[in-house]
């Protein structure tokens, strides 16, 4: 089934989404290629010759970066990525948030159903990802269903200030987690969804918690990343763990001990780091590519291809969004080496969690069952990492469909229209 078949917007909705097609001018692509070609890679040193991004030792290596430079300037095609991007139904829509009147120009991809009982769900990405993390999931849904049988309305936005989503006051007003969540809730309402489900990882996990905690329209939430507060960690300290659970928590411990430096920089010096990285795309690739490699499951899953990583970094470069995308680290600065800021996470609305083995913040089944009385689904996965939807779309979608089978009837019955 062609993806374009799912582009029919639900009738009589409050908002006015406009179909959108991405096209980067040729001269911008040429500039990117020229900058990459002429970029200087540091001379060999102990650190860059012994670096291993898979294990997190020192970061990316000079050899990896030199190989990526060669690929980026010779065989990588942005036009192929652009064509793939445009093969999905893409839209833009303006929403105004009631709290302060900010206008958000939001981009989103979507698969709309013609099924009157379809469950609206929105998938929320984070850094250094984009909405393209969920492209494989959308393809699987289009293969499995027709517009008449699709059980869901699937909305995948570029979250506020990321990628193609911008706002009227981005130069004068710092974005907050609450403000971004309000904009995303306004997006779903503008599409006519007075009852919906939210799913998120990375920054999207915090947005999902906030949306379900603050807005009545959000009826249930599913996460694949979760930071526990110190109080929650203390509460589960005496709960025994299996060897497998202890191994998975080692990933969390390693991130906290050696992997959080980038987040501290993002949170405390967002201007400096974004100005530095925007001087040359190869520098941006080193900074972001390290995370795509280290946070992926490189043991059990197929590693992310270099083309995939280059597509993600190119998307940030061409949308000039890196400097806009650091607001979440400012909002969550206390989580970096300190207590998690209070999150309005609902303890009553249905909650689902998928636990992928290579995740920088996770929760075991026994912990989840103890801490969250509203837990209705827990999916332990054998493969996959932080970019679960990107690396393991089949397993990711299977969990989402199981969760929606549990919460869907109540979401449908609570619709106002």
Phi-psi category of residue 257: left, alpha or beta, with phi > 0 → left and psi -120 to 50 → alpha:
alpha
**Out of 316, 322, 386, 399, which one is annotated catalytic?**
386
To the query of whether residue 202 is one of the catalytic residues in this protein, the response is yes
Pairing of strands 196-200, 119-124: parallel
DSSP state of 25: -
Its sign, for the CA torsion 410, 184, 193, 134, is: negative
β 166-167/196-200 pair status: unpaired
Cα gap 371→243, rounded to integer Å: 21
Q: Tell me whether the omega of the peptide bond preceding residue 128 falls within 30 degrees of 0, making it cis.
A: yes
DSSP β-bridge partners for residue 375: 351
The catalytic residue among 161, 202, 297, 399 is: 202
223 vs 206: CA distance, rounded Å = 9
Q: Residue holding tokens 């917007």?
A: 9
Burial of 394 (C-beta count, 10 Å sphere; 0-12/13-18/19+)? exposed
CA distances from 209 to 39, 194, 204, 219, 317 (A): 41, 18, 9, 11, 29
**DSSP β-ladder status, 351-355 and 152-157:** unpaired
Residue labelled with tokens 């139904």: 89
Based on its alpha-carbon atoms, the radius of gyration of the chain, rounded to whole angstroms, reads 21
Pair of tokens at residue 282:
């190869």
Coil, helix or strand for 31?
helix
Q: Cα(152)–Cα(189) distance, rounded to whole angstroms?
A: 16
Annotated catalytic residue: which of 162, 262, 322, 329?
329
Q: Which residues are catalytic?
A: 202, 329, 386
């Amino acid at each position: 089934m062609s993806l374009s078949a799912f582009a029919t917007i639900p009738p009589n909705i409050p908002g006015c989404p406009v179909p959108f097609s991405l096209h980067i001018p040729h001269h911008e692509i040429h500039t990117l290629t020229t900058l990459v070609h002429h970029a200087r890679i540091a001379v060999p040193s102990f650190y860059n010759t012994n670096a291993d991004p898979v294990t997190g030792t020192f970061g990316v290596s000079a050899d990896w970066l030199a190989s990526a430079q060669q690929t980026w300037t010779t065989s990588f095609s942005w036009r192929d990525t652009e064509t793939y991007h445009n093969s999905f139904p893409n839209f833009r829509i303006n929403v105004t948030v009631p709290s302060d009147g900010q206008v958000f120009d939001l981009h989103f991809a979507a698969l709309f159903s013609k099924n009157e009982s379809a469950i609206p769900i929105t998938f929320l990405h984070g850094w250094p990802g984009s909405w393209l993390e969920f492209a494989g999931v959308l393809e699987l849904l289009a293969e499995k269903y027709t517009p008449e049988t699709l059980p869901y309305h699937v909305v995948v936005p570029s979250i506020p200030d990321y990628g193609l989503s911008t706002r009227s006051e981005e130069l004068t007003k710092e974005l907050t987690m609450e403000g971004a969540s309000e904009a995303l809730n306004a997006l779903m309402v503008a599409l006519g969804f007075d009852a919906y489900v939210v799913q998120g990882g990375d920054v999207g996990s915090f947005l999902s918690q906030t949306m379900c905690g603050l807005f009545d329209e959000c009826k249930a939430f599913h996460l694949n990343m979760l930071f526990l507060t110190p109080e929650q960690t203390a509460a589960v300290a005496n709960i025994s763990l299996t060897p497998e659970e202890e191994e998975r928590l080692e990933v969390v411990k390693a991130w906290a001990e050696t992997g959080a430096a980038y987040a501290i920089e993002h949170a405390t010096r967002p201007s400096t780091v974004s100005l530095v990285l925007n001087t040359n795309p190869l520098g941006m690739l080193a900074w972001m590519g390290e995370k795509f490699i280290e946070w992926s499951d490189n043991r059990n899953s197929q590693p992310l291809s270099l083309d995939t990583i280059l597509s993600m970094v190119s998307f940030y470069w061409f949308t000039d969004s890196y400097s806009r995308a650091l607001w979440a680290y400012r909002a969550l600065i206390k989580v970096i080496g300190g207590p998690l800021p209070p999150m309005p996470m609902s303890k009553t609305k249905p909650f689902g969690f998928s636990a992928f083995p290579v995740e920088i913040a996770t929760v075991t089944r026994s912990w989840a069952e103890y801490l969250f009385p509203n837990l209705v689904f827990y999916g332990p996965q054998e493969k996959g990492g932080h970019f679960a939807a990107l690396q393991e779309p089949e397993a990711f979608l299977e969990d989402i469909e199981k969760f929606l089978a549990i919460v869907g009837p109540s979401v449908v019955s609570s619709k106002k229209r």
